[in-house]
A and B are shown apart, each in its own frame.
Chain A
């Protein structure tokens, strides 16, 4: 095969999740003002307190300026009046059984490898996953709810949680990410549509992986979901998040909030495979992924770990963070971020050490190809009194080709002398020697790149649940197709 055909093939290799689904939707006209916020709240039959929360957030948002501290990334200014803030499949959002779900939706999720039928297993792998499927602004179906309920676990859409467990939502929502936190958090707090809610009661180990699958379908809409996970004392849960969107020439905004609260001895593992449409090779279209994810280890010996594999989106700004408040609590961040073509990723974490003997680990693997830019931006903060806090950070960048960029911005703020903070960083190029070696053994360039990159990310991929790891590996290889000529 000549170099040209190789190149052609990859340029033509498509984003495989780029289809659209033809379902009748109930979509708000474009535009944003207080009436829209009220209408949204009314649509969802929300209690007064939530409407108040939204309005406060909205009014605050109006006073804020769009962040421009990543000014080196040129991107079209977002016109917030040109977005519709609610879009839902026409059929009733709250559904009693699968029969009531629009068959087109079931098909859509099946195409994505997600079964809304509880008996079915994901892509043939023996797995045990409860799924909350969110389509545009609403949750379509949450599986295995009854099984989970037997253990006292609540796993449902955010909207349902608001209606059925208002006391829990009210108690925890906005406590980790207040609406004043940042521009997009304020926007989300005003207009969030749906998302997932999860509560694990005291002493319960969640017997299956919980998962939310987000799908943007409609054009001209934004996706503003909210996820709230509360693990009570001694509870454990592993949570997965996946997402895809159709290919469109326009940029679509995704501004989500995820809040995690881990009480004493509780452990929450949150894994993301982010695969929003990245735009085409010239940088046309793609999702702007501006999300705020934060967890708090509220009690002693609590543990929160974020694992993310970021391959999608035109622009990603995302810093899943952990506030280590409880003594001996643990925060972890394992990240693989891949950028190709004209993608931009600025991602990292914040580890805020407040409690004594708190520990955090940061492993970040950035892979850049094409004309993309990939930055790690992370803060390790040790507050006064956080005796014996420890952090270890390892930030590696892998470059493919010589037209992409890799940057590392580690911020370290230490206010306690007993802290030990270690930071290691490496930058390497994918080796010609490695490629040649693999090819000499019969692997073509694509396979070789996939293998080398997967090996490079092994430490992070190992943290993912099995089914996800397999998907993530494939995704990494696909995302980098055509990156080595």
Chain B
């Protein structure tokens, strides 16, 4: 589904991603962990098409297409979804109107008719229930005045509505209370099927108790320095990053 080969990216001439390799197949859940500033959000931004970053080397193939050649919106329409670490507020635009526009743009891209109001409403109801999103929040302006946790929940609601092929969750668990965490996990687990995939960026093993990853990768200083199964996360939780840092700082020094 997604193949990243030797991806390098820089901002203002400073290299942040220094050769990322990663393959994701349908049906898989990948967790990415790593210390602050290691490049996790940068990777997700680059994949989503944020223009602040210059791709200096490498390629990314998404469902047979050269992802880096696609406009941001076309990547989304091809089924790439990013749950933002810091969701953006859009005052005056209601959440449901925003989603309806998004759904119809995606449908139009695939040559499909606009969603019928009835179908849309049913979908809203269903997904709202899934992520236990308050009716009021669904109708309020996108993220405006939402609490940190509500914003995260709203990202999962949007993901559920848009049913992407590949969803990247950038620290969706940070700032969530236990209930919200369960809801996010429930959202992912319900949506998960053999045809889609998830990249879950997190700092905490806790989330991975709920969303069980097939692979865990450790990103450090712009590179994936270690990959393994879900036990890697447990190990990390115990040991912290010290050992890894030492090991790789020695190499790059």
Whether B92 pairs with A433 at a CB distance below 8 angstroms is: no
A-B pair count, CB < 8 Å, reads 76
- Interface window among A8-16, A242-250, A449-457: A449-457
Please report whether the interface of chain A is mostly helix, strand, loop or mixed according to DSSP: helix
Query: Which stretch in B97-105, B214-222, B229-237 binds the other chain?
Result: B97-105
B92 and A444 within 8 A (CB)? no
Q: How far is the CB of B237 from chain A (nearest CB, A)?
A: 31
CA gap between A438 and B162 in the complex, in Å? 13
Chain B residues 94 to 117 lying within 8 A of chain A, measured CB to CB, are 98-99, 101-103, 105-106, 109
- Select one of A1, A434, A436, A443 contacting B101, CB under 8 A: A443
Interface membership of A107, Cβ < 8 A: no
Residues of chain A from 429 to 444 with CB closer than 8 A to chain B in the complex: 431, 433-434, 436-444
Q: Do the beta carbons of B162 and A455 come within 8 Å of each other?
A: no
Q: How far is the CB of A434 from chain B (nearest CB, A)?
A: 5
CB distance B98 to A451 under 8 Å? yes
The complex places the Cα of A286 from the Cα of B165 at a distance, in Å, of: 49
Q: List 30 A-B contacts (CB under 8 A).
A: A1-B71, A431-B88, A436-B48, A437-B88, A438-B90, A438-B98, A439-B76, A440-B73, A440-B75, A440-B82, A440-B84, A441-B99, A442-B77, A442-B102, A442-B103, A442-B105, A442-B162, A447-B101, A451-B98, A451-B101, A452-B90, A452-B93, A455-B92, A455-B93, A456-B91, A456-B92, A457-B92, A458-B91, A458-B92, A458-B93
Are B90 and A440 closer than 8 Å at their CB atoms? Answer: no
CA distance A459 to B141 in the complex (A): 12
State the A residues within 8 Å of B (CB). 1, 431, 433-434, 436-445, 447, 451-452, 454-459
Query: How far, in Å, is B148 (CB) from chain A's closest CB?
Result: 16
* Docked-complex contact B92 and A440, CB < 8 angstroms: no
Question: Could you tell me the distance in whole angstroms from the C-beta of A438 to the nearest C-beta in chain B?
Answer: 7
A437's partner among B75, B84, B91, B105 (CB-CB below 8 A) is B84
B109 partner, pick from A437, A439, A442, A451, beta carbons under 8 A: A442
Number of interface residues, chain B, beta carbon within 8 A = 31
A433 surroundings in chain B (CB, below 8 A): 88
* A residues near B75, Cβ cutoff 8 Å: 440
Contacts of A439 in B (CB 8 A): 49, 71-73, 76
Bound: A436/B158 CA distance, A: 15
Contact check, B73 vs A443: say whether CB atoms are below 8 A apart.
yes
Tell me, in angstroms, the Cα distance from A444 to B76 when the chains sit together: 10
Interface contact A454-B72, CB-CB below 8 Å: no
Which residue numbers of B lie inside 8 Å of A, CB to CB? Answer: 48-51, 71-73, 75-77, 81-82, 84, 87-93, 98-99, 101-103, 105-106, 109, 141, 158, 162
In this complex, the member of A431, A440, A458 whose beta carbon has the largest number of chain B beta carbons within 10 angstroms is A440
Contact present for A440 and B48 (CB under 8 Å): yes
For the complex, what is the distance from the CA of A455 to the CA of B97, rounded to whole Å? 11
- In the assembled complex, how far is the CB of residue B45 from the closest CB belonging to chain A, in whole angstroms? 8
Q: Other CB < 8 Å A-B pairs besides A439-B73, A440-B49, A442-B109, 16 of them?
A: A433-B88, A440-B48, A440-B73, A441-B99, A441-B102, A441-B158, A442-B76, A442-B102, A443-B73, A443-B102, A444-B73, A444-B105, A454-B92, A455-B91, A456-B91, A458-B91
Give the top 3 A-B pairs by smallest Cβ distance, nearest first: A455-B92, A458-B92, A455-B93
Docked complex Cα distance between A200 and B99 (Å): 43
Q: Smallest distance from the beta carbon of A470 to chain B beta carbons, Å? A: 13
Give every chain B residue within 8 A of A451 (Cβ-Cβ).
Answer: 90, 93, 98, 101
Given the contacts A447-B101, A451-B98, A436 and B91 also touching, CB distance less than 8 Å: no
CA of A431 to CA of B142 in the docked complex: distance in angstroms?
A: 14
Contact with B106, one of A434, A437, A442, A459 (Cβ below 8 angstroms): A442
Chain A hits for B102, CB < 8 A = 441-443
Identity of the chain A residue whose Cβ is nearest the Cβ of B71 in the assembled complex: A1
Q: Which residue of B lies closest to A459 (CB)?
A: B92
| CA distance in complex: A281, B49 (Å) | 30
A434 to B84, CA, bound (A): 12
Cβ contacts under 8 Å, B81 to chain A: 440
**A434–B72 Cα gap in the complex (Å)?**
13
Q: Which residues of A contact B99 (CB under 8 A)?
A: 441
A355 to B49, CA, bound (A): 58
* Contact residues in A for B48 (Cβ distance below 8 Å): 436, 440
Kindly list chain A residues whose C-beta atoms are within 8 Å of the C-beta of B89: 434
> CB-nearest residue of chain A relative to B94?
A455
B225 CB → nearest A CB, Å? 28
A447 to B71: give the CA distance in the assembly, Å: 14
A456 CA to B158 CA, complexed, in Å = 21
Instruction: Tell me whether B91 and A442 are in contact (CB under 8 A).
Output: no
Q: How many Å lie between the Cα of A442 and that of B77 in the bound state?
A: 5
Q: Are B88 and A442 in contact (CB under 8 A)?
A: no
Q: Which residue of A lies closest to B76 (CB)?
A: A442
CA distance A433 to B87 in the complex (A): 9
State the CA gap A459–B92 with chains docked (Å): 8
